[in-house]
Each structure stands twice: as C-alpha cells, then as structure tokens.
A and B are shown apart, each in its own frame.
Chain A
Amino acid sequence: MLATNRQKAFGLIGLFILLLTAMWMSVVYGYTDTNWRQAIAALIDNNGSNAHLVVATVRLPRALIAAAVGASLAMAGALMQALTRNPLASPGIFGINAGAGFFIVVMVTFFSISSLQMLSWVAFIGAAAAAAIVFVISAAGKDGLTPLKMTLAGTAVAALFASLTQGMLAMNEKALEEVLFWLAGSVAGRKLELLAAVFPYLAAAWLGAMLLARHVNILMMGDDVAKGLGQRTNVIKAAAALLVVLLAGGSVAVAGPIGFIGIMVPHMARALAGIDHRWLLPYCALLGGILLLAADIGARYVLMPREVPVGIVTALIGVPFFVYIARRGITAK
C-alpha cells in the first residue's frame, strides 16, 4: 500500500504510463501485426495501406473504447461499493448492465432504432430503471437495505432482464448473431462514433465523481456522522447514483454488458491506494482501463484467428475474485 501522497502521486503516474503502454499494445498486436512506426504513420500520414487502415479504423477506436469503458465501469463499481457498503456491488451484479442491454434490444427489435444518439439514451434509461428497481426491492421488507439483499435482488433482476433479452432474440433470429456478440460484451468492431456519442456523459461523470470524492469519504463514516458533519446525505447519494447510471449506462451502450471489472478493480485500487476516494477513484479509472485493455488483448489470442468477446474474459478472471470476496464474507449491516 502506498502511504504518503507523494507515493500515491507517483503510483498514479506509473499507472498512467502503464495505461499508455497497454493502449499501444492494443493498437499494435493482434491478427494483423503492425508495429509502432506504422501505427504512428497511420495517424499522421495515412497512405490507405492495409496496415494503416487497420490501425486507424479498427485498432485505435478499440483501444480508446476499452480504456474509457474500463475506467467508467471501475469508477461506477467504486461508487456503488461506497454507496451501499457492499463489497460485491458493481454494475454487473446489480442488474444495471442487463437492464441497459434489455432496453437496447427492445428498442432495436420493436422500434428499429439504430441512431447511436438514441441508443445511448436508451442505455441510460435502462441502467436507471434497473438501478431503481433493485434499490426499491432491496429497501423494502423487514430489515431494510442490507448488502446481502441488494446482491440477491440485483441477481434476480439481472436474471429477469437477461432472460427477457434472450427471449426476444430467440424470436428475432436475424438480429441474433450480431447482438449475441454485443450482449456478451465486447469492444471489438465498435465504431469511434459510438464512443463519441457517449463520451460527453462519461467525461462529465468522471469529473463529477472526482468532485464528489470528498463527500463520499464523509458518507463512508455512516449516515449519522455525515449528517452530524452537516452533509445533506440524500443529495450526495442521489448525485452518486446519477453518476453510476451515467458511467454504467454509457459503458453498456458502447461495449455491451461487460461484467466483473466493477467488482475487481475497486478492491485492487483499495489495496494500492487506501480508502480515500480522492485517490481511490483515479486509481480505479486507470486500473480499470488497463485491466480491460489487457483482457481485450488476451481475448484476441485465446482462439486465434477468431476473437472471444472480452466480457467472457473478464468473467473468467472475475469469478475467482468474486468467490474470494464472497468467502471472506460480506457483512450484513
């Protein structure tokens, strides 16, 4: 664990360099191997050759999307874990990914919507709806909001949305192959315009999360203490929930439901940088980007020449982590 602010700042710089390295590797390595000379040439002086085309239209968008989505999911996970005091909280487990996915498939199937702008809005609405449902369900009942009830309610809501999505796809065979790949979560073959459509929201949410970090720290001391210190806890909670919806909804709109980044990364970041959210959140962003980039590079090599959706790779890495946290025990508040 990095103790002083100086060490933490150096850690951040180190992670940033690592992120750039991962992005560079993501651009260069894959089925069509290129090298850094070609990559730079493709950006500055694109001569339309095959290698240059691959870099400019496929690899670079993919690397940027992976970095943005990984960062957003990790930050969403960190905020959710703080908000619910549940170490298993994350957009995937709480049904937010599945909810956004469901709404998107409904819109594509029944209303033939394909405008990217519209789809990103649909994803936000779906994420918000799923989050609201899970929250209401777990707040109801005899002993209110316990971490365990939230986890179980989230799983049930996720299962419901996933099953309804599957059902719609089974009816609509034409859309299946494309959407199946999208539903598994992938950053491959996504256009840069897709990222551009949601980037303003993601960037606003990153900034908002950083501004909120101080308040989240106070909230972590418990509602009563926070109130005693003069915090309007409900306002802070609502703001954090809005940020989660923006981060998770935007990620799903671009890359489909990629699971487990939101669970894993905050725990890793906490081990490195401690529990102060002013440090934790940027660590999450960088680590999340690095992890998703690495998983995506790995996904290219598992079944060469075919690709595996990166959501499968993150699940394969993430489940052992999930099991470890579940074994360590989640405390019922």
Chain B
Amino acid sequence: MKKYVTVRMGSYVSFFYDKKAAVVIAAFGAAAVLLFLISIGSGEMRISPLEAAAALLGYGEEIHQTVILTFRLPRVLVAWLAGMALAAAGAILQGMVRNPLASPDVLGITGGAAAAVVAFLALFSDENNSLTVSIHWLPLAAFLGATAAAWFVYMLAWKNGLAPLRLVLIGIGISALMQALTTLLMIVGPIYRASQANVWITGSVYGASWQHVSFMAPSIIGLLLMAMLAARHVNVQELGGELAIGLGSAVERQRLGLVLLSTALTGGAVAFAGGIGFVGLMAPHMARRLVGSAFGALLPTAALLGGVLVMGADLAGRMLLAPTEIPAGVFTAALGAPYFIYLLYQSRKA
C-alpha cells in the first residue's frame, strides 16, 4: 500500500499527502460537526445535539428553531469561520517564513487589522454609536490595516535578506505600536463609551448576526480555496529562498501573493470576531505534528483545528461562568501563550 496519495486536478491543483492525513482530516471534520451541534444546543435553553440537528433541518419544536436559527447559528458560524481563517493564515506564514513562531499575532498583522477596525468604527460612528456607512466596508478596512502592518514589518525587518528572528522581533514592536494606536482610537472615538469595543478587542463572537455570516462566509471560503490552490507554492517556499529559485519558482512574487492571502484571511477574521489571539500560532503547529508539513494536508487540518479551537473557546466562554460571558479570545490566549512558551522551550536554535 502506498503511503502517499497524489492529487492532481488540471494543471493548477496538485499535491500529495500521507494517507494518515486523510484520516486525521476526516476525524477533525467529524469533531467540528459534533462540536457545532453541541455549541448551537448550549446556552440558557439546552437543546440536545440530536434535536439541534433536527431543528437545523427544519424539524422539531418551533422555539428550538427560532433560538438556533436566529441567535446561535450565526454566532457559531462566525466562530468557526474566524478560527479557520486565522489558522490558515498562520499556516501560510509559518511555511513561508520558515519559523514556527511566526503567526498573524506575533507579526503584528492582527494588531493592524484591529487598529483599522477601531479606526473605522471611531471615524464612521455618529452620536448614538450607530454606523454612518455600511458595515460591509468593515472587512476592507481590516484588510487594509492588516496589509499595512504586514508591509511595515516586512520593510523594517529587511536587511540583506529577511532573518526570521528579526522579523519576529520587529513584529513584536509593530504589535505594540498597533496596540497603542488602538487604545488611542478607542479614547478618541465615541466607542470609548461602549464596553463592547473592549470585548471585541479581546476577541469575541458575541452578537454575531446573519448579516455578518452572509458577508464573511463567501470571502473566507473563497480565500481558503485560494490557499489550497497555493499549497504547492508554500511547499516550495518551505525549502528556502535559494532552493525555491533553483526549482524555478518566482519566489518574490509568490511571497507577495502568500502574504496578501494570509493578511486577507486575518483581516476577515478580525473584522468580525475581533483579535482572537494565538489560534494562528497553535493550530498550524498541532496540525504539523499530526499530518506533517506537506501543505496540501497541513492546510485543511490546521483550518479545521482552528475552527474547532475557536468554537470550543466560544462555547467555554458561554458556559463556564454563565450568565456572564467570557470572550473567546481569553481562552485562546490562555491556551496559546503557554503553547508559545512550550515551542520556545523546544526550539533548538534560538
């Protein structure tokens, strides 16, 4: 029995993966579905997973359908999508920078998106805290903020090439700058009064609506598909710049494309779910442990894992101290920071 399966569709899609990876991906897919059903059934009104599934399909009690379809489903979907997007962005960055410590948070990309979102809310809010422009522009703002931060970090870290560690250090600096800007904007803008802004900065899917989902789902799913198409480029990038050039890759152009892709994913997640930290760092790592670093398998595993992480963090935040809600970002950070430290402990060359 062959260990690897090659997948080729036309001339653009081609990757191979461990058969084990298929099993792992299927398992995580199943876990995601199960967690999804538990999550939409949990809260003040408990609904069993079976009843939840029935309600989703349009059967079961009417009140269940209302609670699930109107309130819980959009929230859980936003959590899931945000987790997938952040994990995929992290996987792309880690592959490209070839540093396990790279992630959208550490490189300041999340911070840039958050600053841009707060700027957007501060600039386009009226006296009553309602937006004066369509919320559909919010993801664009987040993307621009993420891109600007990424560009800054990239430019400042460049010095006869891009040493990964310098990149991480500069990223830490730019993160701090973005944090300062965010706090500044929160004080300037009318949202300073709304404590929701603080919840949002920490990372929460509280109050997500179908409006969010309808905008978020197509863009995130589209970007994830693009990431799958780019998988083979990441594989080559991971060999290092010189070898990649030797293999005939247009390295710099691909890097630019990959950076844009991961900033877009980060921006989309941050725009709707706030600064949920450490998912982009943790999920790709755990996925690499499970399925190895061939990107065609790594990316879907990481994405599913990220979705499960954020859904789980949101669920824990809702249930643990109910009726008080703890933002999902608190849990991801509580898990992620020790994990980051563990990675640090593990890394041979510091």
Q: Which residues of A contact B (CB under 8 A)?
A: 88, 93, 137-138, 140-143, 146, 148-149, 151-153, 155-157, 159-160, 163-164, 166-167, 169-171, 173, 176-177, 180-181, 184, 259-260, 303, 306, 308-309, 311-312, 315-316, 318-319, 322-323, 326-327, 329-330, 332
- Tell me if A176 and B198 are in contact (CB < 8 A): yes
CB<8 Å pairs between A and B, sample of 29: A141-B344, A148-B165, A148-B169, A152-B101, A152-B350, A153-B344, A155-B106, A155-B172, A157-B337, A160-B337, A160-B338, A163-B337, A166-B201, A167-B326, A169-B198, A170-B198, A170-B204, A177-B193, A177-B195, A180-B186, A260-B176, A306-B187, A311-B180, A316-B180, A318-B176, A319-B177, A319-B180, A323-B170, A326-B170
Extra contacts, 12 of them, besides A153-B341, A170-B326 (Cβ < 8 A), are A93-B172, A149-B350, A159-B278, A160-B334, A167-B330, A170-B325, A171-B325, A176-B198, A180-B186, A303-B187, A312-B183, A327-B166
Q: How far is the CA of A308 from the CA of B182 in the complex (A)?
A: 12
- Given A170-B198, A312-B183, A319-B177, residue A326 in contact with residue B345 (CB < 8 A): no
Q: Which residue of the partner chain B has the closest CB to A259?
A: B176
Is there a chain A Cβ closer than 8 Å to B123's Cβ?
A: no
Is there a chain A Cβ closer than 8 Å to B277's Cβ?
A: yes
- Tell me if B344 and A163 are in contact (CB < 8 A): no
- Tell me if B330 and A164 are in contact (CB < 8 A): yes
> With a CB–CB cut-off of 8 A, which chain A residues contact B201?
166
Is there a chain A Cβ closer than 8 Å to B43's Cβ?
A: no
- Tell me if A312 and B184 are in contact (CB < 8 A): yes
- Given A151-B169, A167-B327, residue A159 in contact with residue B344 (CB < 8 A): no
- Tell me if B170 and A159 are in contact (CB < 8 A): no
Q: How far is the CA of A184 from the CA of B192 in the complex (A)?
A: 13
Q: How far is the CA of A323 from the CA of B159 in the complex (A)?
A: 12
Q: How far is the CA of A316 from the CA of B165 in the complex (A)?
A: 23
Is there a chain A Cβ closer than 8 Å to B329's Cβ?
A: yes
- Given A143-B350, A156-B340, A166-B202, residue A326 in contact with residue B180 (CB < 8 A): no
- Given A143-B350, A166-B202, residue A137 in contact with residue B341 (CB < 8 A): yes
Least CB distance, A319 to chain B, in whole angstroms? 4
- Tell me if A309 and B198 are in contact (CB < 8 A): no
> With a CB–CB cut-off of 8 A, which chain B residues contact A180?
183, 186, 198
Bin the interface of chain B by size. 35 or more
> With a CB–CB cut-off of 8 A, which chain A residues contact B179?
315
Q: Which residue of the partner chain B has the closest CB to A181?
A: B187
- Tell me if A88 and B277 are in contact (CB < 8 A): no
- Tell me if B350 and A160 are in contact (CB < 8 A): no
Q: How far is the CA of A9 from the CA of B238 in the complex (A)?
A: 56
Q: How far is the CA of A260 from the CA of B180 in the complex (A)?
A: 12
> With a CB–CB cut-off of 8 A, which chain B residues contact A177?
192-193, 195
- Tell me if A315 and B177 are in contact (CB < 8 A): yes
- Taken residue by residue from 316 to 342, chain B's Cβ proximity to chain A (1 for < 8 Å, 0 otherwise) reads as 000001001111011001100110110
- Residue among B174, B334, B340 with the most chain A CB within 10 A? B340
- Residue among A148, A155, A329 with the most chain B CB within 10 A? A155
- Given A166-B198, A259-B176, A329-B166, residue A171 in contact with residue B346 (CB < 8 A): no
- Taken residue by residue from 139 to 174, chain B's Cβ proximity to chain A (1 for < 8 Å, 0 otherwise) reads as 000000000000000001101000001101110111
- Given A315-B177, A319-B174, residue A141 in contact with residue B346 (CB < 8 A): yes
Q: How far is the CA of A298 from the CA of B165 in the complex (A)?
A: 34
- Tell me if B337 and A156 are in contact (CB < 8 A): yes
- Tell me if B277 and A327 are in contact (CB < 8 A): no
- Tell me if A149 and B344 are in contact (CB < 8 A): yes
Q: Which residue of the partner chain A has the closest CB to B163?
A: A329
Nearest 7 pairs between A and B by C-beta?
A167-B330, A163-B333, A160-B337, A315-B180, A326-B169, A319-B177, A322-B173
- Tell me if A315 and B170 are in contact (CB < 8 A): no
Q: How far is the CA of A166 from the CA of B275 in the complex (A)?
A: 12
Q: How far is the CA of A260 from the CA of B174 in the complex (A)?
A: 13
Is there a chain A Cβ closer than 8 Å to B199's Cβ?
A: yes
> With a CB–CB cut-off of 8 A, which chain A residues contact B199?
170
> With a CB–CB cut-off of 8 A, which chain B residues contact A326?
166, 169-170, 173
Q: How far is the CA of A170 from the CA of B168 in the complex (A)?
A: 29
- Residue from B156, B181, B334 in contact with A163 in the complex, judged by beta carbons closer than 8 Å: B334
- Tell me if A184 and B337 are in contact (CB < 8 A): no
Is there a chain A Cβ closer than 8 Å to B289's Cβ?
A: no
Q: How far is the CA of A284 from the CA of B87 in the complex (A)?
A: 43
Q: How far is the CA of A332 from the CA of B348 in the complex (A)?
A: 13
- Tell me if A137 and B326 are in contact (CB < 8 A): no
- Residue among A146, A159, A316 with the most chain B CB within 10 A? A159
> With a CB–CB cut-off of 8 A, which chain B residues contact A169?
198
Q: How far is the CA of A55 from the CA of B340 in the complex (A)?
A: 48
- Tell me if B177 and A309 are in contact (CB < 8 A): no
Least CB distance, A107 to chain B, in whole angstroms? 18
The A-contacting residues of B in range 186-230, CB under 8 angstroms, are: 186-188, 192-193, 195, 198-199, 201-202, 204
Least CB distance, B174 to chain A, in whole angstroms? 7
- Tell me if B174 and A146 are in contact (CB < 8 A): no
Q: Which residue of the partner chain B has the closest CB to A170?
A: B199
Q: Which residue of the partner chain B has the closest CB to A92?
A: B176
Q: Which residue of the partner chain A has the closest CB to B180?
A: A315
Least CB distance, A164 to chain B, in whole angstroms? 6
- Tell me if A163 and B172 are in contact (CB < 8 A): no
The A-contacting residues of B in range 228-279, CB under 8 angstroms, are: 277-278
Least CB distance, A138 to chain B, in whole angstroms? 8
- Tell me if A163 and B184 are in contact (CB < 8 A): no
Q: How far is the CA of A160 from the CA of B192 in the complex (A)?
A: 23
Q: How far is the CA of A140 from the CA of B183 in the complex (A)?
A: 35
> With a CB–CB cut-off of 8 A, which chain A residues contact B187?
181, 184, 303, 306, 308-309
Q: How far is the CA of A153 from the CA of B347 in the complex (A)?
A: 12
> With a CB–CB cut-off of 8 A, which chain B residues contact A160?
333-334, 337-338
> With a CB–CB cut-off of 8 A, which chain A residues contact B348?
142-143
Q: How far is the CA of A303 from the CA of B188 in the complex (A)?
A: 8
Q: Which residue of the partner chain B has the closest CB to A315?
A: B180
The A-contacting residues of B in range 46-84, CB under 8 angstroms, are: none
Least CB distance, B52 to chain A, in whole angstroms? 27
